[in-house]
Structure 1
Amino acid sequence: MSTMRYAACAAIAACLLGGAGTVAAADFQVASVSALYTKDAKADPVLGTGTDNEHLSTYQFEYFGGFKYGDVYVDAEVFHGKNVGGAGAGSFAGNSSFQQLMVFNPRLSLGKLSGRDLSFGPISDISLIARYERASYADFRSYNHGVSFNFKVPGFAYFESGILRRNTNFYHGKWLWRSVLMSSALPVGSQKFHFNLLSLVNGTGANGTEVFLRPELLWELDDKGAWQLGLRAEMHRYKVNGQNYSRHSPSLMLKWTM
């Protein structure tokens, strides 16, 4: 899928979801655009985000909205650099300055569907979850379905974790443990900071247990926090031909929340 088609799909999804929010009386809606740059885009045979010279620019659109019966998350990412995911980056010998990724992640809240309060202990709600991933690199596709839990954790505005059954076009019947954490604003003097984390841990068969961590530390640039500047780190571990693979890629990040 071309970069323009990915951008068009992201825009269409945002419009449709925004319209759905009006009809379905959305509890909340938030969309953001981020730009990132790193000089440590090491070859990554699984994700295909490595480049020949390890310089990589990433452009990301995210949408998250809560509706009558649940919520939905959409992520569209475009990676740009010298031969992204190509032979020099340790993989499928392609020759492209772009790679793309799209994620569609809807959830159905059992509490909202039943009209009952399902909270107990630190758990505030239980949801049925689906996660669909589509990447241009290696024509990757994955279909994940399972259950997720929302937690009430002091200091965090959002804390969610779940277990899903994972099928891809490379392997079937594996598992995915997915967690998303977003802190409340962290005041340091007169400044405010935010800590976010995406954690994906899954079985793969030949590549063993794959661990992907994406923490962010962001500083609010304006009074409303619409503009944030900071660092995102990606940590990725798995096995390649029986050998351990590990990558740590810090990126400078600028985020605008619409």
Structure 2
Amino acid sequence: MKKVLIPAAVLCGFPVFSYAADYPEFNFNVLSVMATGNSKADPILGTGTSDKNLTTYQFEHFSTFKYGDIYLDAEVYKGDDVGGEGAASGGSGKSSQSLLVANPRLSLGKMTGKSFAYGPVTDVSLIARWEDASYADFRSRNYGLSLNFDVPGFVYFESGLLRRTTNYNDPNWLWRSYLISKPWEIAGQQFNFTLLSLINGTDHNGTEYFTRPEVLWHVDKAGSFQLGVRVETHHYDIGGDRYGRISPNIIFKWFM
């Protein structure tokens, strides 16, 4: 397998390859801090605060290994009575809440040494997503297939369908997507766009939509420090009504 080592800070600039065997290797960590003044009550996620002010601290790890890659995410939400406003059954307010996510993938191309490229698809992976949250002691286990795509304008484009099981719902489905745009330049400054999208079925809340688009300015030339906006959106049914929120955050990222 061809090995392409990538500096952590320039992930957004890594080249896209056609085959899994040529997929670049990387290992990096990201520390982020963000703040919003519009963290309204969210009965499912429990990130709402009494005054709508919320500070989030996030640590992310993303790396490849011989047979695939792994993404780890740890988030801490700080504020006044986090999760107390509009708490769902089993939820309660605290000065902080937390979320842990593990997202390993096994590449069929890497494991077999064969190409699974077809059209825009560059590889197929077995994927797992495990979520543990402090709010309402939420747990979920998700397993399925994930596809990597070669899409113009993007350096990373992944989407997959998983079978979802939680401690609040019968087995259902999850459509997960993550993408990173190629950097673009405005007045000599570098910017890029990222998106996490989670869409899943539920027993009592209809189809749940959660998105995290970001627009980021590369503060330094290498992109080790990035400043921008993350707009978190969440929509679902509850109590016969349609719940929705849009929470813009100012975010600062340090690629280590």
Same fold (TM over 0.5): yes
Relative to structure 1, the CA distance from residue 141 to residue 62 in structure 2 (aligned partners, 3 Å threshold; closer, same or farther) is same
Counterpart residue number, 2:189: 191
Can you list the C-alpha shifts for 1:3-51, whole angstroms capped at 9, x where unaligned? Answer: xxxxxxxxxxxxxxxxxxxxxxx92111100000000000000000000
Counterpart residue number, 1:206: 204
Alignment partner for residue 223 of structure 2, among 216, 222, 225? 225
Can you list the C-alpha shifts for 1:75-125, whole angstroms capped at 9, x where unaligned? Answer: 000000000001x34445623100000000000000011100110100000
Secondary structure, in 3 states, of the residue corresponding to 1:97? strand
Secondary structure, in 3 states, of the residue corresponding to 1:224? coil
Q: Which amino acid aligns with 1:186?
A: W
Q: How does 1:135-146 map to 2 (within 5 A)?
A: 135-146=133-144
Secondary structure, in 3 states, of the residue corresponding to 1:83? strand
Counterpart residue number, 1:17: none
C-alpha distance in 1 between matches for 2:94 and 2:203: 28
CA contact (8 A) 2:92 2:136 kept: no
Q: 2:95 aligned with 1:97, yes or no?
A: yes
**TM-score normalized with structure 2 length:** 0.89
Kindly report the root-mean-square deviation, in angstroms, between the aligned alpha carbons of the 2 structures: 1.1
CA contact (8 A) 2:91 2:135 kept: no
Q: 2:59 aligned with 1:56, yes or no?
A: no
Relative to structure 1, the CA distance from residue 93 to residue 109 in structure 2 (aligned partners, 3 Å threshold; closer, same or farther) is closer
C-alpha distance in 2 between matches for 1:183 and 1:226: 16
Counterpart residue number, 1:159: 157
Counterpart residue number, 1:15: none
Q: Percent identity?
A: 54
CA contact (8 A) 2:87 2:93 kept: no
C-alpha distance in 1 between matches for 2:95 and 2:124: 41
Alignment partner for residue 25 of structure 2, among 14, 24, 27? 27
Can you list the C-alpha shifts for 1:141-176, whole angstroms capped at 9, x where unaligned? Answer: 000000000000111110000000000000121000
Counterpart residue number, 2:78: 80
Indicate the structure with greater helix content: 1
Relative to structure 1, the CA distance from residue 90 to residue 138 in structure 2 (aligned partners, 3 Å threshold; closer, same or farther) is closer
Secondary structure, in 3 states, of the residue corresponding to 2:82? coil
Can you list the C-alpha shifts for 1:48-70, whole angstroms capped at 9, x where unaligned? Answer: 00000000000000000011100
Can you list the C-alpha shifts for 1:166-215, whole angstroms capped at 9, x where unaligned? Answer: 00000121000000011111111200001000000000110000000110
CA contact (8 A) 1:73 1:106 kept: yes
Q: Which runs of 5+ in 2 are unaligned?
A: 1-23
C-alpha distance in 2 between matches for 1:67 and 1:93: 37
Q: Which amino acid aligns with 2:106?
A: L
Counterpart residue number, 1:10: none
CA contact (8 A) 1:27 1:68 kept: no
Give the structure, 1 or 2, with the largest relative contact order (CA under 8 Å, sep 6 or more).
2
C-alpha distance in 2 between matches for 1:247 and 1:114: 44
Secondary structure, in 3 states, of the residue corresponding to 2:94? coil
C-alpha distance in 2 between matches for 1:66 and 1:123: 19
**TM-score normalized with structure 1 length:** 0.88
CA contact (8 A) 1:51 1:89 kept: no
Runs of 4+ in 1 over 2 A off after TM superposition: 88-95
CA contact (8 A) 2:121 2:149 kept: yes
Q: How does 1:171-182 map to 2 (within 5 A)?
A: 171-182=169-180
Counterpart residue number, 1:19: none
Counterpart residue number, 1:248: 246
Counterpart residue number, 2:20: none
Counterpart residue number, 2:37: 39
Secondary structure, in 3 states, of the residue corresponding to 1:138? helix
